[in-house]
Structure 1
């Protein structure tokens, strides 16, 4: 993230980081290829293929990637830099936003096949293909969210994204028919979560000092991973208790609505000097 950030002026960082963030499409590639690779070889095959791809990329990166001229290099000790990062309000605000936006994307990419099989009686392959469509749309929308953030500001993009997730989750809590109701609800949420994920890092690039971008994005990225880890556990527990996903989806709607309110109040007030629209 700091590598990409350093190559672009502030007005273009949203789109650039959004394109970089589209690499989250690797989850779709993994979901669609892991089982076929196992079937074609054995349980070790996906790991060996991944190792080869990583090694090839490492060699390519070593050959062609270069740090941006004039890159800000932090000189303070690690502990001091981490403490300074923790004192930045932007670190924790962006972490909360990313935990909901990217965490929601990760959670759906993990749990959506099980949900579709249980609620709509789909086969494993059909559910996996629909999940891949969800992921693909979110991936495409991530650079779009960054591009829009460059033009209208990340606050507007984030507010719109969380409003859409609120509406989509609330509608899906009533378990509408798969076509078109549930399909529309999940695809609109996919688009919103992807755009919101791109907008979060556009916001980080806008308000974070250049020498702290790496440490801030590290914390924010970890929050996104945690945000994706918790919801599937909650959904599973709620389904076990109530034999229904409605409560879990209603909870998602409430969380998205609260995050929308947080974006329009605390986050907007935090960046009035830079860009609030």
Structure 2
């Protein structure tokens, strides 16, 4: 470990400094960060695949179930802002390790206390801390790669959202023979392993610069007072990542309710959607490295809008629903990969702060749609309006990405 530390040169010792060239150390850092992110998202998303079982166990309404699933997304969204800034200040390794260590507590507690809605919601809120891991990891990975490689590197790191796929595939299967407590125990164990490995093996590309005086979590956000592009990025990620999270969380419920599928079958189908989104993310980052990232986003938003309209009128038919959901997973993945290429390109000296706010927008994009879908279903008996609202957001995002300027305004 000492030898590793001695060979690392600072990647961001001064504002605007160029990241160090890609090396074996950078690859190792990317692998460790992706593994840690996967573990965090496995734990963060585990309530979603278990929601049909929990709904029956706790005798919940549609809205109560949607709220229970969405609550971890809420705190994860809010905390991405301060934790992204703290990662800029103290280094990604330290903040990421502390975040994972804390997240072990609520997921382990859920293994014991999951017999009351209030308890599940309270612990689910704390579990949201694991969802803030994305912003921290972006800062950590970004320091290891030069600008021309960051789109692909951050896309690979973003594949850690495949933890949601693993949760969908394994949680219902673990719970069926072993009981509801078993998936939470497994998730806690995964986090323990990830925390130990990352804390002991990961290193920041550059030591954080010494700080004097008070640490401000507000000052780094000043860019949002002057740059329309920063706000545009929040909209882009609200749609691309928020759409992914919302579809993944609510799709099992839709499949069980509309088609009467088993919980395991519904979870597996949702995992297929998530897997394609995960695979699409590095492709989106790679395309953004080679093309104008805004072109990638335009394609993603056009396709999302068209598919959302089609879903609104065909979700009751399994074949078109399957084709449309799988294609939607791909195009949303492309969008998530392209967004953070723009973050590093437009705001190289405020990556943590901008990533935190943009990531929070994406998390909120996953929080509200399941609630809206539940309310729409309860009021109209149909999901059509919910899908049409997704199409409307895609149209707005397309308009903005076509108008946003390439300068600092």
Partner of 1:38: 175
Partner of 1:217: 355
Match status 1:160 vs 2:299: yes
Partner of 1:59: 196
Partner of 1:86: 224
Q: 2:256 aligns with which of 105, 117, 128?
A: 117
The one-character-per-residue Cα deviations of 1:40-86 (angstroms, maximum 9, x if unpaired) are 434333233222222222221123211114x6748583245334243
Partner of 2:205: 68
User: In the TM superposition, what are the counterparts of 1:97-246 in structure 2 within 5 Å?
Assistant: 97-175=236-314, 178=317, 180-210=319-349, 212-246=350-384
Q: CA, structure 1 residues 67+137, in 2 after alignment: closer, same or farther (shift >3 Å)? A: same
Aligned equivalents of 2:347, 2:383: Cα separation in 1 = 39
Partner of 1:264: 402
Question: What displacement does 1:207 show?
Answer: 0.6
C-alpha contact 1:101 1:193 (8 A) present in aligned 2: yes
The one-character-per-residue Cα deviations of 1:230-262 (angstroms, maximum 9, x if unpaired) are 011111111111111111111111111111111
Q: TM-score normalised to the size of structure 2?
A: 0.61
Q: CA, structure 1 residues 51+189, in 2 after alignment: closer, same or farther (shift >3 Å)? A: same
Question: What displacement does 1:194 show?
Answer: 0.9
Match status 1:4 vs 2:141: yes
Question: What displacement does 1:136 show?
Answer: 0.4
Secondary structure of 2:143's partner? helix
Q: CA, structure 1 residues 213+115, in 2 after alignment: closer, same or farther (shift >3 Å)? A: same
Comparing 37-46 with 194-203, which one deviates more in the overlay? 37-46
RMSD over aligned Cα atoms: 2.1
Partner of 2:152: 15
Secondary structure of 1:66's partner? coil
Secondary structure of 1:49's partner? helix
C-alpha contact 1:2 1:213 (8 A) present in aligned 2: yes
C-alpha contact 2:258 2:316 (8 A) present in aligned 1: no
Unmatched runs of 5 consecutive residues or more in structure 2: 1-137
Aligned equivalents of 1:173, 1:79: Cα separation in 2 = 42
Partner of 1:255: 393
Q: How many residue pairs get matched? A: 268
The one-character-per-residue Cα deviations of 1:104-151 (angstroms, maximum 9, x if unpaired) are 000000111222233344333322211110000000001111011001
Q: CA, structure 1 residues 136+83, in 2 after alignment: closer, same or farther (shift >3 Å)? A: closer
Question: What displacement does 1:220 show?
Answer: 1.3
Comparing 43-52 with 98-107, which one deviates more in the overlay? 43-52
Unmatched runs of 5 consecutive residues or more in structure 1: none
Comparing 37-46 with 129-138, which one deviates more in the overlay? 37-46
Q: TM-score normalised to the size of structure 1?
A: 0.89
Aligned equivalents of 1:174, 1:194: Cα separation in 2 = 23
Question: What displacement does 1:18 show?
Answer: 0.5
Q: CA, structure 1 residues 66+176, in 2 after alignment: closer, same or farther (shift >3 Å)? A: closer
Aligned equivalents of 1:175, 1:99: Cα separation in 2 = 24
Aligned equivalents of 2:191, 2:274: Cα separation in 1 = 22
